[in-house]
Amino acid sequence: MKSASVILGTVLFLNSMLTAAFGADSPAVLGGDSAAAHYNGLLIDSLEIDNRNIYDTGDRAYDRFWFRLANKLHIKTRRHVIERELLLKKGQQYNHRLAEETARNIRNSLVVYDAWTEVEMLPGGGVLLRVVTVDQWSLTGGFSYGREGNETRYQIGFDEKNFLGNNQLVSFYFFGQSDDEDFIEAAFFDNRFLGRRYRLQLSFSTNPVSEIESIELTRPYYDREQAYAYGVAVTNFSGRRDVYSDSLKIGESFFDGDVARTFAAYRFGDPQRKVTLELDYKYRYERTTDIRVLSAAAGDSALVTASLAEDSLYHEVEVSAGYADYEFIKLSQIEGFGYTEDFTLGYSLAVAYSRAFEPSFGDHVFDKAYLQLLRYIGSSRHLLLLDYRHVWWFRGSIAIRHSAVLSGRYYARFKPYLTLAMRGLYESDWNRTDREGVWLGGTTGVRGYDKYFRTGDRKVVGNVEARFYPDIRFMSAIFGGVVFADWGTIWKKEEPVTLGHTYLAAGFGLRIAFEKSTRNVVRIDLAYSEMNRWQLSIGTDQYFKAWIFE
Q: How many domains does the chain have?
A: 2
Tell me how far the alpha carbon of residue 96 is from its chain's centroid: 29
Domain boundary among the residues 111, 135, 159 is at: 135
Helix (H, G, I), strand (E, B) or coil at 78: coil
Distance CA 291, CA 306 (A): 12
Clarify whether residues 111 and 251 are in a common domain. no
Single-letter amino acid, residue 456: G
Within-domain flag for 27: no
CATH at 128: 3.10.20.310
Distance CA 76, CA 110 (A): 12
Clarify whether residues 108 and 246 are in a common domain. no
Clarify whether residues 78 and 227 are in a common domain. no
Residue 505 near residue 485 (C-beta atoms within 8 A): yes
CATH at 495: 2.40.160
Clarify whether residues 325 and 452 are in a common domain. yes
Within-domain flag for 366: yes
Within-domain flag for 11: no
Clarify whether residues 128 and 225 are in a common domain. no
Clarify whether residues 115 and 253 are in a common domain. no
Helix (H, G, I), strand (E, B) or coil at 122: coil
Clarify whether residues 389 and 495 are in a common domain. yes
Beta strands 477-491 and 458-474: pairing type?
Answer: antiparallel
Within-domain flag for 516: yes
**Confidence (pLDDT) at 548:** 63
pTM: 0.81
Domain boundary among the residues 91, 111, 135 is at: 135
Within-domain flag for 16: no
* H/E element, 407: strand 398-415
In this prediction, the residues of the chain whose per-residue pLDDT falls under 70 are: 1-35, 149-150, 298-300, 302-311, 498-500, 548-550
Helix (H, G, I), strand (E, B) or coil at 333: coil
Write out the residue range of the structural domain in which residue 119 sits: 35-135
> What are residue 22's phi and psi, to 5 degrees?
-80, -15
Helix (H, G, I), strand (E, B) or coil at 416: coil
Domain boundary among the residues 91, 116, 135 is at: 135
Within-domain flag for 216: no
Beta bridge partners of 62: none
> What are residue 232's phi and psi, to 5 degrees?
-145, 145
**Confidence (pLDDT) at 130:** 95
**Confidence (pLDDT) at 30:** 36
Clarify whether residues 324 and 421 are in a common domain. yes
Distance CA 527, CA 536 (A): 6
Distance CA 511, CA 507 (A): 14
CA distances from 142 to 39, 145, 157, 376 (A): 47, 10, 5, 37
Within-domain flag for 547: no
Name which of 251, 258, 256, 253 is nearest 241 in CA terms. 253
Q: Look at the alpha carbons of 486, 249, 147, 333 in this order and tell me if their dihedral is positive or negative.
A: negative
Clarify whether residues 131 and 226 are in a common domain. no
Beta strands 210-219 and 228-245: pairing type?
Answer: antiparallel
Within-domain flag for 162: no
